[in-house]
């Protein structure tokens, strides 16, 4: 019991000493999900992924459509087909579905790999920018995840976004972007 009283006394004493120090601290809060959504580096990464994987995605959609059409033909015409023709169509359908599954797995693996690499680069850039801004503006502490509430006066997300936009490479002239 005495130990608990001692802990409370120590906690109160530390609180009294710590509060004046906290009053002098400059604290900022960053909304990382917003940065990952709105940063030009993130938008460029999304566009690059769409450009790189768009044709493969269309190829997959076409293969799915072709397999579905073959399956519908088999279902619709199976009763009027001879056994060898039906068997050939069934083998073709199984082969197409197997190829489609393999293509989907390869596509998913490639996309996840590229997305992870892009996210890693964006995270590195965002963290470096937050650190540079915090040092420049003399912040003692910058919080991100796990903040339940922060007043707008503490939110430095917009400043970080502006810095990211300034540091973002500009598109080459003549690309229409």
CATH number for the domain including 79?
A: 3.30.910.20
Residue pLDDT, tens place only, 86-97 = 899 899 999 999
Domain that holds residue 37: 28-167
Residue 76 lies in a domain: yes
Cα–Cα distance measured from residue 32 to residue 38, given in angstroms and rounded to the nearest whole number = 10
Q: What is the DSSP letter of 174?
A: T
Please check the confidence at residue 153 and state whether its pLDDT lies above 60.
yes
Residue 1 lies in a domain: no
Residues 142/28, Cβ–Cβ less than 8 Å:
yes
Helix/strand/coil for 158? helix
Residue 7 lies in a domain: no
**Beta-bridge partners for 143:** 29
Average pLDDT of the chain is: 84
Residue 61 lies in a domain: yes
Cα–Cα distance measured from residue 63 to residue 24, given in angstroms and rounded to the nearest whole number = 64
Domain count of the fold of the chain? 1
Residues 57/107, Cβ–Cβ less than 8 Å:
yes
Cα–Cα distance measured from residue 19 to residue 22, given in angstroms and rounded to the nearest whole number = 5
Residue pLDDT, tens place only, 6-63 = 444 444 554 545 555 556 889 999 999 999 999 999 999 999 999 999 999 999 999 9
Residue 19 lies in a domain: no
Residue 20 lies in a domain: no
Residue pLDDT, tens place only, 92-141 = 999 999 999 999 999 999 999 999 999 999 999 999 999 999 999 999 99
Residue 93 lies in a domain: yes
pTM to 2 decimals? 0.68
Residue pLDDT, tens place only, 57-70 = 999 999 999 999 98
Residue 174 lies in a domain: no
> How big is the chain, counted in residues?
177
């Amino acid at each position: 019991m005495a130990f608990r009283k001692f802990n409370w006394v120590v906690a109160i004493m530390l609180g009294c000493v710590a509060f004046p120090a906290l009053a002098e601290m400059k604290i900022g809060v960053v909304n990382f999900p917003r940065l990952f959504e709105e940063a030009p580096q993130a938008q460029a990464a999304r566009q690059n992924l769409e450009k790189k994987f768009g044709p493969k995605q269309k190829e997959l959609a076409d293969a799915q459509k072709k397999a579905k059409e073959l399956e519908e033909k088999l279902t619709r015409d199976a009763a009027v087909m001879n056994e060898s023709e039906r068997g050939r169509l069934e083998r073709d359908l199984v082969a197409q579905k197997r190829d489609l599954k393999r293509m989907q797995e390869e596509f998913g693996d490639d996309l996840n790999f590229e997305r992870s690499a892009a996210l890693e680069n964006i995270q590195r850039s965002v963290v470096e920018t937050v650190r540079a801004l915090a040092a420049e503006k003399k912040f003692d502490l910058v919080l991100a995840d796990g903040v339940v509430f922060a007043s707008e006066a503490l939110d430095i997300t917009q400043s970080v976004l502006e810095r990211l936009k300034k540091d973002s490479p500009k598109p080459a002239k003549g690309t229409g972007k």
